[in-house]
C-alpha cells in the first residue's frame, strides 16, 4: 500500500510543517538541572474542584521548589463541554489560594511554548498523525457507532476485554481498495493507532507517587484523531507534554489505566517519556464508609464553596499540605510562624491511596490560622469577602473600619494572653458581628425568669448604667441590681444558701447579656456595651423589657 499517498489523502492540510520544525519551535527548556516543569491541564467546563487544587498545589510546589515552571494548558478538545469564562475562573480560583502560573493560557508573559489551548494546536497533532499513517503506525477506521457497540456486546458476552484490538480491530487490515472505496462513498472516519503491543508483555514502571507498579503493554488501537479531525486526550497529551517540555505529569489516578496507551504513544512518536505521578482520589467518611468526594453529593468539592463561605485561603492550603505530605503537620507544629512555602515538599512522600478529606479538621486549622491575625488584618480579610458576597448591610457596616476593628479586637481576644478562636471563616465571622449593628440585631429573647423579674433587672440596670464605668464599677452595679431583685450578689452566698435567692449575680448578668446581644453566650459584656455606646445599650435594655 502507498502509505505516503494515503497519509496525504486522509490529512490533506497544507499548513503542516516538517516534524523537525516543531522540535525547533519548541526546543528543550533552558533550565537548571533538576528543575521540574509541571502543568495543570483542565477542561474548560467551569467546574474547578478541590482535586484540581490538590493537584495544582503539588504541581506548583514541585515546580517552584526546584526552580522550574508551572503552566496552564486548556484541554478544550470537547467543544460541547466548554463554558464561557471557565479559564478566567480557573485562574481566579487558584489565585485566591495563592497559586499562580508562570505561563500558559491567559497568563501574561513570554509564553513561548503556546498556544496553550489545544484547539489552537490542531495542525501540530495532524502533522504527527499524518506521519504515523505514513509510517504504517496509524490507520483510518470507518466503523460506525452501531458496529462498535456490536463488538463491545460480543466481547462482554465472551467475558473478554472490551475495545478495538487484535481480531476485533476490523479496519486495521483494510486493503487499499477498501479504504479508497469507503472514502469515495464519503464514509466518515477516525484515525487509530496501529498498536504494536501485546497484553502478554508486562513491565515495571516507576510512578513518582505510587512507586513501582506493574504495567501491561497496550494492544488497543485507540483513536488518536476523531472524525472532526480533533485529537483525543491520549494523543494531545503525548504531543503537548512533549512539546511543552513537561518533565513530571501529575494527574489523577483515574488516568493510570490509560498509562500503557500513553507509553506506547510516546514510543511511536519517538518522544522521551516524561515522569508521571498519579495522585490518589480525595475521599470522605460517609456514615461508617469511605467514599470518593462526589460533585453531586458534596458541595465542599467545588472550589467556589470555599470562596463563597469565606474560607481563609492559607488555611485551606495548609490543610491540603497536611494531606499531600504526611510529615507537613509535624513540620508546621515545629515551625508555627513559618510559611508553608518553606516546607520541603516532595512528590515521593504523597499518599499512595485514598486521601481522606476531613472538613472538621480544615475548620480547626482555619480557626487557628485566623486567630493569628491582628484585628486590622482580620478586617482586611473579612472585607474582601464582604465586597464580593456580603449583603448591602454588611457592606455599609464595613465602611466603619474603626468600629469593626474594635469589635474584632474584642471577639478575637486581641491583647489578652489567650486568643479566642471563634472565627472560622469570613461568612460566619461576619454573622458573629451582626448584633453590633441595629439593623442586623435580630434578638430572640430566651430568658429563664418570669417577665416581672426580668423587667425589674433591666429597668434597674438601665437607670444606673454609665458608659464611662470601668469594669469593676460596671460589675458592682450588676451586683447592686442583683441584690435589689432578690438575687445573690456574691457567688459564695448563693452557693451557701441557694434556696434563699432567685439566683446568683451570674444569672443577672445573663439576663443583661441576652438583652444586649440576643444570646446568652458572648465575649465580655461590659466591653460590648462600651462599643455599642451608652445610649444604644440602654435602648436595648428597654427594647427587651418592652418585648416581655
Ligand atoms: N484534561 C484532563 C482532565 O481534566 C487532564 C488530565 C491530565 O492532567 O493529564 O482530567
Q: Ligand 1: which atom is nearest the Cα of residue 40?
A: 8
pLDDT at 354: 77
Whether the per-residue pLDDT at 187 is higher than 80: the answer is yes
Query: Per-residue pLDDT averaged across 311-330, rounded?
Result: 94
Query: Per-residue pLDDT averaged across 105-124, rounded?
Result: 94
Whether the per-residue pLDDT at 55 is higher than 80: the answer is yes
Quote the ligand 1 centre to 42 CA distance (angstroms).
5
Whether the per-residue pLDDT at 352 is higher than 90: the answer is no
C-alpha cell at 281: 482520589
45 pLDDT band, cuts 50/70/90, is: confident
Q: Ligand 1: which atom is nearest the Cα of residue 255?
A: 6
Interacting residues of 526 by C-beta distance below 8 A, sequence separation 6+: 469, 471, 474, 475
Quote the ligand 1 centre to 287 CA distance (angstroms).
31
75 pLDDT band, cuts 50/70/90, is: very high
Check pocket membership of 251 for ligand 1, CB cut-off 6 A: yes
What is the full DSSP assignment across 159-222?
T---SSBGGG-GGGG--HHHHHHHHHTT---EEEE-----TT-EEEEEETTTEEEEEEPP-B--
Quote the ligand 1 centre to 41 CA distance (angstroms).
5
277 beta partners? 250
> Is residue 112 within 8 Å of 5, Cβ to Cβ?
no
pLDDT at 118: 96
Quote the ligand 1 centre to 251 CA distance (angstroms).
6
Q: Ligand 1: which atom is nearest the Cα of residue 55?
A: 8
Cα 496-498-499 angle, rounded to 5 deg: 125
Share above pLDDT 90 across residues of the chain, in percent, rounded to a whole number: 91
Q: Ligand 1: which atom is nearest the Cα of residue 75?
A: 1
Check pocket membership of 75 for ligand 1, CB cut-off 6 A: yes
pLDDT at 170: 96
* Nearest protein Cα to ligand 1, atom 5: 41
Check pocket membership of 210 for ligand 1, CB cut-off 6 A: no
pLDDT at 418: 87
78 pLDDT band, cuts 50/70/90, is: confident
Check pocket membership of 522 for ligand 1, CB cut-off 6 A: no
Check pocket membership of 41 for ligand 1, CB cut-off 6 A: yes
Q: Ligand 1: which atom is nearest the Cα of residue 39?
A: 8
Quote the ligand 1 centre to 75 CA distance (angstroms).
7
Chain-wide mean pLDDT for the chain? Answer: 95
> Is residue 310 within 8 Å of 426, Cβ to Cβ?
yes
* Nearest protein Cα to ligand 1, atom 3: 42
138 beta partners? 193
Query: Per-residue pLDDT averaged across 92-108, rounded?
Result: 93
pLDDT at 336: 84
Residues 212-222 have pLDDT tens digits of 999 999 999 99
Best of 47, 251, 253 for a ligand 1 pocket test (most atoms within 8 Å of beta carbon): 251
151 pLDDT band, cuts 50/70/90, is: very high
* Nearest protein Cα to ligand 1, atom 4: 42
Best of 254, 255, 261, 274 for a ligand 1 pocket test (most atoms within 8 Å of beta carbon): 255
Q: Are strands 275-279 and 248-252 parallel, antiparallel or unpaired?
A: parallel
* Nearest protein Cα to ligand 1, atom 8: 251
Query: Per-residue pLDDT averaged across 281-304, rounded?
Result: 91
pLDDT at 101: 95
Element (H, E) at 6: helix 3-10
Whether the per-residue pLDDT at 227 is higher than 80: the answer is yes
Interacting residues of 468 by C-beta distance below 8 A, sequence separation 6+: none
* Nearest protein Cα to ligand 1, atom 9: 251
Residues 414-462 have pLDDT tens digits of 988 888 999 999 999 999 999 999 999 999 999 999 999 999 999 999 9
- Angle of helix 313-324 relative to helix 50-65, nearest 10 degrees, comes to 80
Residue 361 to residue 284: CA distance in whole angstroms: 12
534, HSE (Cβ side, Cα atoms, 13 Å): 9
Check pocket membership of 43 for ligand 1, CB cut-off 6 A: yes
Q: Ligand 1: which atom is nearest the Cα of residue 254?
A: 10
Residues 534-548 have pLDDT tens digits of 999 999 999 999 998
Quote the ligand 1 centre to 129 CA distance (angstroms).
21
> Is residue 165 within 8 Å of 221, Cβ to Cβ?
yes
Residue 77 to residue 223: CA distance in whole angstroms: 14
Whether the per-residue pLDDT at 521 is higher than 80: the answer is yes
pLDDT at 347: 93
Residue 101 to residue 39: CA distance in whole angstroms: 9
Whether the per-residue pLDDT at 189 is higher than 90: the answer is yes
Q: What is the DSSP letter of 490?
A: S
pLDDT at 505: 97
Check pocket membership of 237 for ligand 1, CB cut-off 6 A: yes
Cα 463-467-469 angle, rounded to 5 deg: 95
Whether the per-residue pLDDT at 80 is higher than 90: the answer is no
Q: Ligand 1: which atom is nearest the Cα of residue 251?
A: 8
Q: Ligand 1: which atom is nearest the Cα of residue 241?
A: 9
pLDDT at 437: 98
pLDDT at 84: 87
Query: How many residues are given for the chain?
Result: 548
Interacting residues of 103 by C-beta distance below 8 A, sequence separation 6+: 69, 71, 72, 109, 110, 111, 112, 113, 114, 116
Residues 390-403 have pLDDT tens digits of 999 999 999 999 99
**Structure pTM?**
0.88
369 beta partners? none
Q: Ligand 1: which atom is nearest the Cα of residue 250?
A: 8
Residue 416 to residue 152: CA distance in whole angstroms: 70
Best of 43, 236, 295 for a ligand 1 pocket test (most atoms within 8 Å of beta carbon): 43
Amino acid at each position: 500500500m502507498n502509505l505516503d499517498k494515503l497519509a496525504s489523502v486522509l490529512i490533506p492540510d497544507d499548513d503542516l510543517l516538517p516534524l523537525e520544525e516543531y522540535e525547533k519551535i519548541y526546543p528543550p527548556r533552558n533550565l537548571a538541572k533538576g528543575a521540574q516543569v509541571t502543568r495543570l491541564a483542565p477542561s474548560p467546563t467551569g467546574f474547578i474542584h478541590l482535586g484540581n487544587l490538590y493537584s495544582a498545589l503539588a504541581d506548583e510546589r514541585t515546580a517552584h521548589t526546584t526552580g522550574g515552571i508551572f503552566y496552564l494548558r486548556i484541554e478544550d478538545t470537547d467543544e460541547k463541554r466548554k463554558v464561557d469564562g471557565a479559564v478566567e475562573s480557573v485562574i481566579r480560583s487558584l489565585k485566591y489560594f495563592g497559586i499562580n502560573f508562570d505561563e500558559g493560557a491567559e497568563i501574561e508573559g513570554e509564553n513561548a511554548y503556546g498556544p496553550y489551548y489545544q484547539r489552537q494546536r490542531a495542525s501540530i497533532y495532524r502533522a504527527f498523525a499524518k506521519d504515523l499513517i505514513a509510517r504504517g503506525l496509524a490507520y483510518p477506521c470507518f466503523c460506525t457507532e452501531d458496529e462498535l457497540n456490536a463488538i463491545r456486546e460480543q466481547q462482554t458476552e465472551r467475558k473478554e476485554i472490551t475495545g478495538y484490538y487484535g481480531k476485533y480491530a476490523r479496519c486495521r487490515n483494510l486493503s487499499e481498495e477498501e479504504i479508497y472505496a469507503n472514502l469515495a462513498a464519503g464514509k466518515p472516519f477516525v484515525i487509530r493507532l496501529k498498536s504494536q503491543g501485546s497484553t502478554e508483555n508486562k513491565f515495571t514502571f516507576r510512578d513518582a507517587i505510587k512507586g513501582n507498579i506493574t504495567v501491561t503493554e497496550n494492544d488497543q488501537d485507540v483513536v488518536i484523531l476523531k472524525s472532526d479531525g480533533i485529537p483525543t486526550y491520549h494523543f494531545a497529551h503525548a504531543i503537548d507534554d512533549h512539546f511543552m517540555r513537561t518533565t513530571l505529569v501529575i494527574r489523577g489516578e483515574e488516568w493510570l489505566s490509560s498509562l500503557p496507551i500513553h507509553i506506547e504513544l510516546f514510543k511511536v512518536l519517538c518522544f522521551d517519556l516524561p515522569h508521571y505521578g498519579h495522585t490518589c482520589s480525595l475521599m470522605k467518611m460517609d456514615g461508617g464508609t469511605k467514599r470518593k468526594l462526589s460533585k453531586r453529593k458534596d458541595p465542599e468539592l467545588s472550589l467556589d464553596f470555599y470562596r463563597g463561605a469565606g474560607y481563609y485561603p492559607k488555611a485551606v492550603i495548609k490543610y491540603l499540605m497536611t494531606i499531600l505530605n504526611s510529615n507537613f503537620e509535624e513540620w508546621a507544629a515545629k515551625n508555627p510562624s513559618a510559611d508553608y512555602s518553606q516546607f520541603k515538599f516532595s512528590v515521593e512522600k504523597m499518599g499512595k491511596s485514598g486521601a481522606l478529606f476531613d472538613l472538621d479538621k480544615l475548620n480547626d486549622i482555619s480557626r487557628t490560622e485566623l486567630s493569628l491575625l491582628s484585628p486590622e488584618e482580620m478586617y482586611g480579610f473579612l472585607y474582601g469577602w464582604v465586597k464580593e458576597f456580603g449583603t448591602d448591610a454588611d457592606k455599609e457596616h464595613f465602611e466603619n473600619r474603626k468600629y469593626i476593628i474594635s469589635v474584632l479586637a474584642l471577639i478575637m481576644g486581641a491583647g489578652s494572653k489567650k486568643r479566642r478562636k471563634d472565627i472560622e471563616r469570613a461568612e460566619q465571622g461576619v454573622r458573629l458581628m451582626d448584633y453590633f449593628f441595629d439593623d442586623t440585631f435580630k434578638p430572640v429573647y430566651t430568658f429563664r425568669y418570669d417577665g416581672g423579674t426580668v423587667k425589674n433587672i433591666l429597668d434597674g440596670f438601665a437607670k444606673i448604667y454609665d458608659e464611662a464605668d470601668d469594669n469593676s464599677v460596671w460589675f458592682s452595679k450588676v451586683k447592686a441590681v442583683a441584690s435589689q431583685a432578690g438575687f445573690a450578689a456574691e457567688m459564695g452566698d448563693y452557693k451557701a444558701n441557694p434556696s434563699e435567692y432567685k439566683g446568683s449575680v451570674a444569672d443577672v448578668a445573663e439576663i443583661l447579656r441576652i438583652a444586649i446581644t440576643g444570646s446568652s453566650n458572648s465575649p465580655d459584656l461590659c466591653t460590648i456595651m462600651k462599643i455599642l455606646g451608652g445610649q444604644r445599650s440602654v435602648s436595648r435594655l428597654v427594647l427587651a423589657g418592652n418585648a416581655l
